[in-house]
Structure 1
Amino acid sequence: MCYVRLAARRLRPGLPRLAAFLPVLAMLPFLPLAFRAVHPRVISGFFLAWLAESKLLLLANGQGPLHPSLPLPAFVAVASGPVRLRVEKPAQTSSGLGLVSAAVMAALLAVIVSLYKYEERMNQYILFTLYSFHMYLALELVLASMAAAARTLLGLDLEAQFDRPYISASLGDFWGRRWNLSVPNVLRPCVYRPVRAYLGSAAAGVLASFLVSGLMHELMFSYITLRPPTGEVTAFFALHGACAVAEAWWARHDKWWRPPPLLATPLVLAFVIVTAFWLFFPPLTRPGADKVIIAECEAAIAFLRDAGAWAAGSVRSVWTGRL
């Protein structure tokens, strides 16, 4: 990142800057493979092979959120982290997950992981439902933790990564404004706007964005399974892209019927979950990657439990000694 920042300072946007970035762009997708455990491999893959690659391509074209004038620590954090700088005043920014909310989510995640011991007796769809909640809670906690660390260490003013996706009233609302916001924040300038400007079609921009998202998710799944892509995740996002376009087309007709919010939200969530059962989770469960993820989660929870017990015992010993 030091090299990229220096090159961006010395070279004008366009082909010269892009050519200078190419060695870094070519190297980033391979760095996550240095990790043997699934969680650090896929998390670093998301940060480096998706977010950092996208933001460096934008920087090569002279677009934000990166700028060579940023201090090096902030440049690295914004380039490779699931965060971006806000332009509003700090008083208007969201603080992200609060301590109580984070604690509740962590407790719920621990409960879900503890239920996996009964997976052999579970219906497959119940297990997939648990996987859905597991994925949401884990992403929320990981991304919020990264944002909080950057805010604390670097003084950056950061945006929340999720905005209550469970109240989404449409697919466009779910994917574009509520779920994992760091992804649409890079897909809009990298894919949607160029395609829309070139073809003159918002629908084409949406479809292209979902297609690219599907391809990048294939890469993330390859980091998890260490197997070639199956195409199912791309099909999942292509389907959602087509449905989002159809949904937007329908919404433009004011006189046509549309479900009330109380009905729209469960319909959207049901569609996301059911199609995930069909296309999203099988590439993970088929090679047994879900078992590896569960084992790593159980090991992490056991470590935290033992560490907490040790810390509590140490505090108790010190307190007793003082008395």
Structure 2
Amino acid sequence: MEGKIYQNHTLEWEITNFIKVWVSVVVSLLYCHVASRIVPRGLTRIITFIPVMCLFLALPLSLHSMHLGGMSAFFIAWLANFKLLSLALDKGPLSDPTLSLPQFVAIGCFPIKKSRPNPCPSISKKPGKSLWNYLTKVLLMAVFIRIYDYSEHLHPKLIMVLYCFHIYFMLELMLAAVAALARATLGLELEPQFNDPYLSTSLQDFWGRRWNIMVTRTLRTPVYDPALSVSALVVGRKWAPLPAVFCTFVVSALMHELIFYYLGRKRPTWEMTWFFLLHGVSLPVEIAIKKVLNGRCQLPRVISTILTLGYVMATGFWLFFPEFFRVKSNVRAFEEYALVGAFLKDLFGGAVKARNFNSTIIQLPSVRR
């Protein structure tokens, strides 16, 4: 009984902190909205935004859960800060002068963008994923959670493969929920997140067009473009994308280390950094080979897909996923599922008992005195 009370108190405390964090985010973005209209772009605006960006780095330390804390850290410390950096240069989604105040705050917080009118009505947009697609992924996640109960009888590599798909499905479902809310309330659209990464035919295809596309776009203005300009002066325009890509992976590596520090509050081992540095070297090598070959030699699509996914998963098992297990993200995630389930059961169970009790009182026959 005491354990249940402690768990409920912990959940309520986390939710309270979650509300405080996001109220602070909204107020800070309101300040940035006003400042961007007054302060000229460039270094002066960056200095104006620095207190907010430092606050956004500190706020996730108030949260400790995998879901509320992890997603908040990603939205605040990563997305919001890099969008503010782009805004300081008068670029990026927040620089649109037609944004209303609620739209500015929502786009600053979440991976969403303003809907654009279709310039060619005769050409329909690519249809979004169907409801059945998301329902299938919910069902598969439920199956995965059930399979984890028998993890001691399964090969560890198989469990890691399941984690790969679990993380992908979870991210897509959570972002789809954000998209639905933004579309219903503010008429905003979700930024492209994933485009069937399991169909990638190269590392360039995987990182640039299929996996976490939103992050790629967010890093382009404040990281990739400046690195590209500097590299063009050193190695020329033809080869400038190679060091620019590497610089982008370096920044991504550091941000991933920060996110995992928020999740586990443990000193980094830098394995995840090595994962991104390895891909930060592999991708430019692949691009260079493509430039040299100029389309003269191409592998069959099936072979290239197998090699790409094999390389990503092998390096992920080696350097990326150990960090997940080190911070016990899998164990903590399932504990949170159980905690939320128990909380909802107590909440609705209490409501049902109260309703039945009231009905019983109403139905009691009157007693003659």
TM-score (norm 1): 0.89
Q: Which has the larger radius of gyration?
A: 2
Map of 1:122 onto structure 2: 154
Deviations for 1:124-148, whole angstroms, at most 9, x for unmatched residues?
1111111101111011111121122
- Deviation for aligned residue 1:308: 10
Deviations for 1:102-136, whole angstroms, at most 9, x for unmatched residues?
11111111111111111222211111111101111
Secondary structure at the aligned position of 1:38 is classed as coil
Aligned partners of 1:52 and 1:158: how far apart in 2? 15
Aligned partners of 2:253 and 2:79: how far apart in 1? 14
CA gap 1:307/1:217 in 2 versus in 1, 3 angstroms:
same
Segments of structure 1 that go 5 or more residues without pairing to the other structure are: 312-323
Aligned partners of 2:132 and 2:87: how far apart in 1? 37
* Equivalent position amino acid for 2:261 in 1: S
Segment of structure 1 superposing worse, 150-159 or 238-247: 150-159
The equivalent position to 1:162 in structure 2, one of 177, 187, 194, is 194
The equivalent position to 1:212 in structure 2, one of 233, 251, 275, is 251
Residues 175-186 of structure 1 aligned to structure 2 (within 5 Å): 175-186=207-218
Aligned partners of 2:344 and 2:128: how far apart in 1? 24
The equivalent position to 1:22 in structure 2, one of 32, 44, 50, is 50
* Equivalent position amino acid for 1:138 in 2: M
- Deviation for aligned residue 1:208: 0.6
The equivalent position to 2:317 in structure 1, one of 272, 277, 289, is 277
Instruction: Judge conservation of contact 1:85–1:159 (CA < 8 Å) in 2.
Output: no
- Alignment of 1:76 onto 2:101: no
- Alignment of 1:51 onto 2:83: no
The equivalent position to 1:174 in structure 2, one of 201, 206, 220, is 206
- Alignment of 1:66 onto 2:107: no
- Deviation for aligned residue 1:293: 1.9
* Equivalent position amino acid for 2:36 in 1: A
Aligned partners of 1:221 and 1:97: how far apart in 2? 30
Aligned partners of 1:275 and 1:305: how far apart in 2? 41
Map of 2:271 onto structure 1: 232
Aligned partners of 2:298 and 2:346: how far apart in 1? 52
CA gap 1:148/1:41 in 2 versus in 1, 3 angstroms:
same
Deviations for 1:136-168, whole angstroms, at most 9, x for unmatched residues?
101111112112211111012444311111111
Map of 1:314 onto structure 2: none
Map of 2:12 onto structure 1: none
* Equivalent position amino acid for 1:83 in 2: I
Segments of structure 2 that go 5 or more residues without pairing to the other structure are: 1-28, 233-239, 352-369
Aligned partners of 1:310 and 1:15: how far apart in 2? 56
Deviations for 1:8-39, whole angstroms, at most 9, x for unmatched residues?
01111012211111110000022122223111
Secondary structure at the aligned position of 1:84 is classed as strand
Map of 1:105 onto structure 2: 137
- Deviation for aligned residue 1:306: 9.5
- Alignment of 1:135 onto 2:162: no
Aligned partners of 2:149 and 2:165: how far apart in 1? 16
Secondary structure at the aligned position of 1:162 is classed as coil
Aligned partners of 1:34 and 1:98: how far apart in 2? 37
Deviations for 1:240-287, whole angstroms, at most 9, x for unmatched residues?
121111111111213653321111111111111111100001112134
- Deviation for aligned residue 1:170: 0.6
Segment of structure 1 superposing worse, 104-113 or 246-255: 246-255
Segment of structure 1 superposing worse, 15-24 or 158-167: 158-167
Aligned partners of 2:106 and 2:266: how far apart in 1? 30
Residues 283-322 of structure 1 aligned to structure 2 (within 5 Å): 283-300=323-340
* Equivalent position amino acid for 1:274 in 2: A
- Alignment of 1:244 onto 2:283: yes
- Alignment of 1:13 onto 2:41: yes
Instruction: Judge conservation of contact 1:114–1:298 (CA < 8 Å) in 2.
Output: no
- Deviation for aligned residue 1:226: 1.5
